[in-house]
Structure 1
Amino acid sequence: MSKSILITGCSTGIGYTCAHGLQKLGYAVFATCRKEADVERLKSEGLNAFRLDVCDTSSMHEALVWMLSQTGGHIDVLFNNGAYGQPGAVEDLRRDVLREQFETNVFGTQELTNLVIPYMRKQKSGRIIYNSSILGFVAMSYRGAYNASKFAIEGLADTLRLELYESGVDVVLIEPGPIKSDFRKNALAKFLEHIDQEHSAHKEVYAKTLKRLQKTGDAPFTLGAEAVL
């Protein structure tokens, strides 16, 4: 029987590449996205796909039920991949902006994990993979919200690994560097939406940030998403 894997954030980048790549390797892949249009696109490409938004508890329950109904209640792997980056100086991050970053990257991710753990405990087997980042252990200016969310995920994952010791459930962290994806495009949208550039002490730096985020082509040291497979 093929091993089953539930992957979040499969619309582009690492999630997209892993969903297709693991299916080719024989895994029973259950690919999820936040937007229904992306779900339909993945289905048209031959993936078993469903809507899952880690900021929507009911959608997480529905996605898990959808998967388990096809696997006889078994789940081998959860890949917590869905996330985004909120650029901006720490002093320019409003509480609601910081909370939004944590809702997706930390709170929702861990809620989904906690939904899956009882099934893995019952099986006495399973693997939970957290997609962190090099920014989960190294701070970088103007990445404070993302840094903090990934530091938090690493703390949760490392603690969970200790708590699941001898349960048969493995907890794994991966810490990629720059990967080809829509991450920069999505970060630009969040920057323009939430950061008041004109009234910031960092106005001059932000002008350079905008140029960087608006560049086409890959950032330095960027690898293809298949590097994670």
Structure 2
Amino acid sequence: MNFFITGASSGIGLSCAMHMQALGHNVAVTVRKETDRQRLESIGFYVVMIDLTNIELIKPVFDQVVDHFDGQLDVLVNNAAFGQVGALEDIKVDVLKAQFNVNFFAVHELTICAIKQMRIQNGGKIVQISSVLGLVSMKMRGGYNSSKYALEGLCDTLRLELKGSNIHVSLIEPGPITSNFRKNALINFEKTVDIKHSVFNQDYQTQLTRLKKQGKAARFTLPAKACANKLEKIVKSKRPSARYYVTFPTYLFGFLKRILPASWLDNILARS
């Protein structure tokens, strides 16, 4: 099978790419840096460089990958994303737009490219890497929460619209996963939020401590391979499920959201 996986320089994307390659599949990936391109090409991936904030470049890159696979794309995995830390009242519109450009609009553009191709070939699978924060919200993560909620709604709608097409859309929803996500979130946080002059300055100091912490930042953290294992389940299933939870927090909060009044769940999340 032929796979196209975005954001594969490290973490979940790289683990999914390595796992699918080990199973004998052909894998194309996207990265942003030349050093990552060279590294991933050296281990056998077809690599394209793209900054996904530039939406106009997405279709040409997608077409390039499909041409490489001789017109057959079996699985698209939209993994590329970043986390925007900060209270919503401290997040400027241009910062929120940057969050949505990568986490939502680029995903949408790639998804509709894949749908058009998969209609031609009469089938395929689209896998979106979402988050537990697409199910419940965490304070100081409003930009990221919002982008993942939007992604969840996108996929719920697509499943209805694609019914009977043999094109399947599934979400993988991880909680804490070992990756560079925290390191990248820290860089972006310090660059985009006026920490010093915010009313949330004290809370931000706690955030900075957490983001700078070495090793696992949260309990129940799993390696990225846990997401790759879920991807394998989707690939092997004739009728994949809508959602695949990864890590204990996702199972827990997915359950609590179904059974608790909003005010009770808010009290739990406010302490997290």
TM-score strictly above 0.5:
yes
Unaligned runs of 5+ in 2: 229-272
Corresponding residue number in structure 1 for 2:186:
188
Give a deviation string over 1:96-117, Cα, whole Å, max 9, x none. Answer: 1111100110011101111121
Q: Could you tell which deviates more after superposition, 134-143 or 50-59?
A: 50-59
* 1:56 to partner: Cα distance: 2.0
* 2: CA distance, partners of 1:68 / 1:204: 49
Asked if 1:149 is matched to 2:147, the reply is yes
Give the counterpart letter for 1:131 in structure 2: I
Corresponding residue number in structure 1 for 2:74:
76
Instruction: Give the secondary-structure state (helix, strand or coil) at the position aligned to 2:139.
Output: coil
Q: Is the contact between residue 51 and residue 59 of structure 1 (CA under 8 Å) also seen in structure 2?
A: no
Corresponding residue number in structure 2 for 1:16:
14
Say which of 128, 131, 136 aligns to 1:130: 128
* 1:57 to partner: Cα distance: 3.2
* 2: CA distance, partners of 1:38 / 1:58: 22
Q: Is the contact between residue 53 and residue 98 of structure 2 (CA under 8 Å) also seen in structure 1?
A: no
Give a deviation string over 1:169-219, Cα, whole Å, max 9, x none. Answer: 000011001111100000000100011011111011111111111111112
Q: Could you tell which deviates more after superposition, 45-54 or 202-211?
A: 45-54
Corresponding residue number in structure 1 for 2:209:
211
* 1: CA distance, partners of 2:141 / 2:207: 11
Question: How many residue pairs were aligned?
Answer: 227
* 1:151 to partner: Cα distance: 0.1
Instruction: Give the secondary-structure state (helix, strand or coil) at the position aligned to 1:79.
Output: strand
Say which of 115, 120, 126 aligns to 1:117: 115
* 1: CA distance, partners of 2:175 / 2:65: 30
What's the % identity of the aligned pairs?
47
Instruction: Give the secondary-structure state (helix, strand or coil) at the position aligned to 1:175.
Output: strand
Corresponding residue number in structure 2 for 1:158:
156
Normalized against structure 2, the TM-score is what?
0.81
* 1: CA distance, partners of 2:155 / 2:34: 29
* 1:222 to partner: Cα distance: 0.9
Normalized against structure 1, the TM-score is what?
0.96
Corresponding residue number in structure 2 for 1:222:
221
Unaligned runs of 5+ in 1: none
Where does 1:86-101 land on structure 2 (aligned, <5 Å)?
86-101=84-99
Give a deviation string over 1:136-191, Cα, whole Å, max 9, x none. Answer: 01110101000000000000011011101101100001100111110000000010
Q: CA RMSD in A?
A: 1.1
Q: Could you tell which deviates more after superposition, 142-151 or 210-219?
A: 210-219
Instruction: Give the secondary-structure state (helix, strand or coil) at the position aligned to 2:37.
Output: helix
Give the counterpart letter for 2:158 in structure 1: L
Corresponding residue number in structure 2 for 1:52:
50
Q: Is the contact between residue 85 and residue 140 of structure 2 (CA under 8 Å) also seen in structure 1?
A: yes
